[in-house]
Amino acid sequence: MGIENKPNKEEAQDQTPVKTNLPVSVNLRQQTNLKQKQSTDSIISSCKKIGNTLVLCDLLHKGLIICNLDGNDIHHIPLSYTPQYITEIDSNTVAVSCDDRTIQIINISTRSITSTINTSGNCYGISYNDNNLYVVIGMSIIHVMDLTGKVIRTIPVPSDYIYDITVDRYRLVCVDDTSIYCCSLEGKVMWKFKKDELQDLRHMTTDNEGNIYVTDHIKETVVVVSDDGKHHRELLTKSDRLHQPYGIYFDKKENSLLVCNDGDIFLFDVKHQ
């Protein structure tokens, strides 16, 4: 399936074409129905693609699902807490933010929990950068901590209800329900992106160009926003078989976009100009 993206109305009205680094097309490489593979429902809240391995947070069964791209060779790692968001530490290790004020460090090769970090509030978005974890605590502040859980510093958040974050190119990108914020690593807002059609943003990811991809759970879309926040495009919709998507992850090594529905996993190849 090929999806050729058309310029949005704002861009079409410009007299002079504006060059952006937004993707020009996405093509479906792989679709996997996870329910058929494991004969049970799952609610995938967050996801990562590490090489050819998928690591999925399953809200419904309170654990991680590890499988290959076609949904075979499935393994489950049960957790004591409900997983919310996930970040890659290295090719064998992930950190998972959970409810009940907990972060769990997990070895996906041995499928074992190597350590548990207790936090001062419920955990949401989590991102690993330069040997530190950046974690949204209670949706109201970001703690920067080492892998033992020692808090090094705190960063103010630009909104009352921040869900997901990522550290990318010496900047911090955050989302709440309806807006995307690009901040310095000290928390100073550099720009904010908000459109009326965005209703329920919970998860986001960035590509090599600094573009930001977000899933809108209610609108059932994926929207991409340019690295300066000035341009955007609706990249995927319900016509692409999205159904209440949450998890999203951009594989920067191979320019592919992983999107997870409640029951389906989609892998798209992304092309830029």
- Phi, psi (rounded to 5 degrees) for 34: -70, -35
pLDDT at 61 over 60: yes
CATH number of the domain enclosing 43: 2.120.10.30
What percent of the chain has a predicted confidence (pLDDT) above 70? 93
pTM of the model: 0.90
Q: Residue 9: which pLDDT band, with cuts at 50, 70 and 90?
A: very low
**What is the average per-residue pLDDT within 91-113?**
95
Q: Which one is predicted more confidently, 207 or 36?
A: 207
How many separate domains does the chain show? 1
Give residue 10's pLDDT.
46
Residue 155 predicted with pLDDT over 60: yes
pLDDT for the residue 33: 87
pLDDT exceeds cutoff 80 at 114: yes
* Mean model confidence pLDDT for the chain: 90
- The pLDDT value recorded for residue 225 is 97
Distance CA 126, CA 94 (A): 11
Domain span at residue 132 reads 2-271
Question: Cα 151 to chain center, whole Å?
Answer: 23
Residue 4's pLDDT is 44
